[in-house]
């Protein structure tokens, strides 16, 4: 009896409101009669289940429903039906006349042509559409039309033939929609049936202590407070946190600063001078074409004349023993502005501003870069790049490899290898590969090298070794987070973002 009393005293107002209607056949009826929304009712039912008052089971079903365009086509007819009706009057029509008479949009007309061709009902010949089937084909309803007329449907009830029809309709915009319907079933226990007969009412118990209750003795004297079940599950509260990509960038930033590097920052829009010319990239190089770079309809002012003349000389005649590119360098091309294609433009700017008396110096940057790429699982038109330079008269190639080993070791990669490579503004150059213990393969993460004299001398006035690297950072992220599609890094799926682990945790 004491346990029964404690149970009653633990029921919340919403649980008491729901209790009389537990044997309703439909979930929606419980919501209506209790005057609570779906979320409140479902939560109350879950609490009642924890108290052994009822048992909940749920059943999920895929339901195929008519979409926005599907409802319109059900009324007016599918595009291919409307085109067939036109061809019923004239078996041969110019394509433009057929579209005009059928009153179809460009997309609808193209879709209907494709459907009718696949069914062998029409041919296309010299800009004309020819109906080559019998008149009975026009009067007979297609499988697609019969499918739309039968909606909504349970997905599990579909025959293989109907599944093919569904796939065909899904390839067209908003004709059908597949939704998930969740059915909640309630089984009231013997304890629950007993409680339902007791006629419990909201207000018999005090829910919380308020200033008003404390001020007036009549409001609390002789009444009971509701018991709270601290063992019951409660809704998960998700606090705010930084995006996992930003967490990883911060982690890498801390690695470089711990190694004594200063951060380079700069605008995402850069002139061709800093993005290409200062890095000894020829003005006829393919990377400076529209298909590779996002150009801005603006022109920049060039830097100090001494840098412009020095870069011009490196391109036209060569410096430090090189022959240059042997062409006439164009200032106007250098003034063109674009979204930076790499963060190495920050390195070239930094070199132009350094005080040679303060060497050695070390710099890094991590930031967005942009390339005019076709978006797919492994390519994006924006990506993060990790950039670094070490300016030191005594620096050599072994120092470069040492810095890279230390950084990637701190990023979680124990085993590295370096392969000889070619890059336009470094010599010697290497590709960085890390061993993936799970996949048992070497992954390429980017390139590194020592800046060529044609880069350093115009900006620094003399040749001083500059170690440089610029691996793509997003590849590291994809490997660490087990992401197979680059586009998943920037999708705003809150459920996935909340479940993402912290970098290196």
Q: What is the pLDDT along the chain (505 residues), one digit of tens a residue?
A: 667 777 777 888 888 888 888 888 788 888 888 898 988 888 888 888 888 888 888 888 888 888 888 888 888 888 888 888 888 777 788 888 888 888 888 888 888 888 888 888 888 888 888 887 776 766 777 888 888 888 888 888 888 888 888 888 888 888 888 888 778 888 888 888 888 888 777 766 777 778 887 788 767 777 777 777 677 666 677 777 788 888 888 888 888 898 889 999 989 999 999 999 999 988 888 888 877 888 898 899 999 899 999 999 999 988 888 888 999 999 999 999 999 988 999 999 999 998 888 889 999 999 888 888 776 666 778 888 888 999 999 999 999 999 888 888 888 788 889 999 988 889 999 998 888 777 788 888 888 999 999 999 999 888 999 999 888 888 788 777 777 777 777 777 777 777 777 655 4
Is the peptide bond prior to 428 cis by the omega test (within 30 degrees of 0)? yes
| DSSP string computed for 305-374 | HHHHHHHHHHHHT-STT-----S---HHHHHEEEE-S-THHHHHHHHHH--GGG-SEEEEEEEEEE--PP
Predicted TM-score (pTM) of this structure? 0.58
**Residue in the block written with tokens 């597949």:** 178
CB-based contact 480:500 (threshold 8 Å)? no
DSSP state, 158?
-
Tokens found for residue 74: 């059900």
Query: Where does residue 156 rank: exposed (0-12), middle (13-18), buried (19+ CB within 10 A)?
Result: exposed
Strands 262-263 and 361-370: parallel
Closest CA to 288 of 341, 324, 327: 341
Crossing angle of the two packed helices 473-480 and 244-258, in degrees rounded to 10: 120
The residues near 485 (Cβ < 8 Å, ≥ 6 apart) are: 377
Q: How many helices (H) and strands (E) does the chain have?
A: 22, 18
Distance of CA 65 to the CA centre of its chain: 28
Cα 489 to the chain's mean position, in Å?
5
What span, in angstroms and rounded, lies between the C-alpha atoms of 393 and 457?
13
Strands, sheet with 122-125, edge to edge from the N-terminal-most edge strand: 92-94, 128-131, 122-125
| 231 φ/ψ angles, rounded to the nearest 5 degrees | -90, -10
Q: Which residue in 317, 261, 301, 271 sits closest to 457, CA to CA? A: 317
The two three-digit tokens of residue 379, written as one number: 């390519």
CA 128 to chain centre: 44
Q: Which of 406, 386, 394, 385 is nearest to 361 (CA)?
A: 394
Give the pLDDT confidence of 26-67 residue by residue, as tens digits: 888 888 888 989 888 888 888 888 888 888 888 888 888 888
Distance CA 505, CA 501 (A): 7
Distance CA 77, CA 62 (A): 26
Pair 296, 338: CB distance under 8 Å: yes
Tens of pLDDT along 146-156? 888 888 888 88
């Amino acid at each position: 009896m004491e346990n029964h009393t404690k149970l009653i005293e633990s029921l919340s107002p919403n649980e008491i409101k729901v209790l009389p209607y537990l044997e309703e056949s439909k979930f929606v009826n419980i919501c209506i009669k209790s005057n609570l929304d779906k979320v409140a009712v479902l939560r109350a039912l879950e609490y009642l289940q924890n108290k052994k008052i009822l048992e909940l089971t749920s059943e999920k079903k895929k339901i195929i429903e008519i979409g926005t365009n599907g409802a319109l086509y059900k009324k007016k007819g599918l595009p291919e039906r409307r085109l067939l009706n036109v061809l019923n009057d004239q078996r041969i029509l110019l394509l433009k006349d057929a579209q005009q008479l059928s009153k179809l949009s460009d997309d609808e007309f193209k879709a209907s042509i494709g459907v009718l061709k696949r069914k062998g009902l029409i041919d296309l010949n010299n800009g004309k559409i020819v109906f080559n089937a019998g008149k009975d084909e026009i009067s007979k309803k297609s499988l697609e039309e019969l499918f739309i007329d039968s909606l909504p449907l349970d997905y599990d009830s579909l025959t293989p033939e109907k599944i093919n029809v569904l796939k065909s309709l899904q390839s067209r915009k908003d004709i059908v929609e597949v939704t998930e319907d969740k059915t909640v079933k309630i089984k009231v226990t013997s304890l629950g049936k007993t409680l339902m007969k007791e006629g419990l009412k909201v207000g018999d118990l005090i829910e919380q202590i308020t200033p008003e209750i404390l001020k007036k003795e009549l409001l609390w004297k002789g009444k009971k407070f509701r018991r709270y079940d601290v063992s019951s599950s409660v809704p998960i509260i998700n606090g705010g946190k930084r995006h996992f990509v930003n967490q990883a960038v911060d982690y890498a930033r801390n690695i470089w600063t711990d190694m004594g590097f200063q951060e380079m920052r700069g605008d995402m829009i850069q002139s061709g001078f800093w993005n290409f010319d200062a890095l000894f990239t020829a003005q006829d190089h393919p990377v400076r074409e529209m298909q590779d770079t996002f150009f801005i309809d603006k022109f920049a002012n060039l830097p100090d004349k001494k840098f412009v003349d020095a870069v011009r000389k490196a391109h036209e005649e060569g410096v430090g023993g090189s022959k240059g590119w042997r062409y006439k360098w164009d200032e106007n091309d250098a003034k063109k502005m674009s979204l930076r294609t790499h963060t190495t433009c920050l390195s070239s700017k930094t070199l132009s501003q350094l005080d040679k008396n303060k060497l050695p110096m070390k710099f890094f940057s991590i930031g967005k870069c942009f390339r005019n790429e076709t978006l797919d699982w492994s390519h994006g038109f924006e990506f993060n790049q990790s950039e670094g330079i070490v300016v030191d008269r005594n620096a050599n190639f072994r120092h470069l490899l040492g810095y890279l080993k230390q950084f990637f070791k701190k990023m979680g990669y124990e085993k590295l290898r370096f392969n000889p490579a070619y890059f336009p503004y470094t010599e010697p150059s290497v590709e960085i590969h890390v061993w993936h213990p799970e996949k048992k393969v070497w992954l390429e993460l980017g390139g590194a090298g020592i800046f060529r004299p044609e880069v350093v001398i115009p900006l620094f006035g003399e040749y001083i070794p500059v170690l440089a690297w610029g691996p793509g950072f997003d590849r590291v992220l994809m490997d660490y987070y087990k992401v197979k599609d680059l586009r998943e890094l920037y999708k705003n799926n809150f459920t996935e973002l909340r479940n993402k682990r912290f970098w290196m945790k």
